[in-house]
Amino acid sequence: MSVLNIAEVTKTFSGGTNAVDRFSLDVAGGELVCLLGPSGSGKSTLLRMVGGFEQPTGGRITIDGEDVTHLPPERRPTGMVFQSHALWTHMNVFKNVAFGLRLRRMPAKQIREKVEAVLELVGLAGYGDRMTTQLSGGQQQRVALARSLVLEPKILLLDEPFASLDQHLRERLRDEVRDIQQRLGITTLFVTHGQDEALSMADRIVVIANGRAEQIGRPDAVYRDPKTPFVAGFIGLMNLIEGEVKNGHFIRSEFTTPLPIADGPATLAIRPEALDLTASNAPTARVHRVTDYGSHGLVDLDLADGTRLKSTVANLDLFQAGQGVGLLPRAVAAYRENQQIYRS
């Protein structure tokens, strides 16, 4: 059953630009949905409209069937975790977490119990007396999470919560947050521009560009079958090649590959791991650089006209800069006029 419903929501800023453009989304109870997009795509604005910090210029937002479109943040059953933590530095950890409960006039004993329980949940048991400024970035983010969770919101909103943390901590926290989210079964909307975060945490991903949903789907589906060139280029590494289709063949420079679609311009998408390199007497590409990532190798290639492609290879020793190779795509997708028209 859908807990959060966003229907045709539009946000037009005073300059006339549409930050969010007729966006619709249904989020089921207990689901974690990632809003993934580049900066300026409107994903944060969308989240802030769900939280009540921005007013939509059109459309409706309902939570559990109740229209909250014009309710102020304090009257919405949502809990927001900000990128900057936004902890209140003049209060200690306990007071930060207890503030919302105190506003609800809960008895002090009950507040203490709830705050201690939630601090335990986020791994900060015994930290209540610390000032927030004495905590590390990761601990501050846990406090921010606890502050939202303690109120048992119907929807948890996370606005790039790990952006200010280093790589290791980010990976650890995202696992923890996912664990907590699943254990509590709390419906969550998560904004990020990091595809790793989205792919590893989300039940569903919404790829946003220019205020519109480019694609909505499970992480594996979005990765394997991107429906627009934007999604193809945004999620994971992807070779996007502009070219012409003639007589069932895609042509770019000296590279051709069978493509059974009507003649005309097309964009071909090939994952580096789906682009095999072959020894060839008539090479179509030249090796530019070979990079060893430990677990795999990545070969940068140039077509004759300078188009740069990437291929993932298992055995690096076979390749060196300047070498000519043939290209053999194992799986391709083709796009025309921003729509997917072919997939092998």
Partner 1 sequence: MTTLAPAHPRIDWSGMVLALLLTLVIVGPLLVVATWAFTEVWRYPNIIPQQFGFRFWGQTLGRPDVWNALILSLRLSTVVTLLSALICLPAAYAFARMTFPGRDILFFSFLAGHAFPKFGLLVAIAAIFLQLDLIGTFWGVVLIQLVGTLMFMIWIPVAAFQAVDRRMEEAARDVGAGPLRVFWSITLPQAGPTIAAALLLSFVGTFYETEGAWLIGAPGIRTMPILMISYINNQMVIQYGAVLSVLLWVPSFIALMFARRIIGGGAFARGFGG
Report the residue number, 73 or 258, with the smaller CB distance to partner 1: 73
- Sign, CA torsion 149/152/158/159: negative
Q: How far is the CB of 40 from partner 1 (least distance, A)?
A: 19
Q: Say whether residue 168 binds partner 1 (CB under 8 A).
A: no
Contacts with partner 1 in 65-84 (CB under 8 A)?
A: 72-74, 78-80, 82, 84
Return the closest-CA partner of residue 266 out of 152, 343, 189, 182.
Answer: 343
Q: How far is the CB of 116 from partner 1 (least distance, A)?
A: 18
Q: How far is the CB of 197 from partner 1 (least distance, A)?
A: 20
Pattern 38-57, binding to partner 1, x per CB under 8 A? -------------xxx----
Return the closest-CA partner of residue 226 out of 332, 129, 114.
Answer: 332
Q: Which of 17, 55, 89, 338 binds partner 1 (CB under 8 A)?
A: 89
User: Based on the number of CB atoms within 10 Å of its own CB, is 343 exposed (0-12), middle (13-18) or buried (19 or more)?
Assistant: middle
What's 131's DSSP letter? Answer: B
Runs of H (alpha helix) within the chain = 43-51, 93-103, 108-121, 137-149, 167-184, 195-201, 219-224, 229-234
Pairwise CA distance, residues 62 & 271, whole Å: 39
Q: Which of 44, 140, 148, 311 binds partner 1 (CB under 8 A)?
A: 148
Q: How far is the CB of 143 from partner 1 (least distance, A)?
A: 11
Report the residue number, 80 or 173, with the smaller CB distance to partner 1: 80
What's 124's DSSP letter? Answer: -
Return the closest-CA partner of residue 189 out of 80, 87, 100.
Answer: 80
Report the residue number, 54 or 300, with the smaller CB distance to partner 1: 54
Q: Say whether residue 241 binds partner 1 (CB under 8 A).
A: no
Q: Say whether residue 151 binds partner 1 (CB under 8 A).
A: yes
Instruction: Please give the residue ranges that form the binding site for partner 1 (CB under 8 A).
Output: 51-53, 72-74, 78-80, 82, 84, 86-90, 99-100, 103-104, 144, 147-148, 151
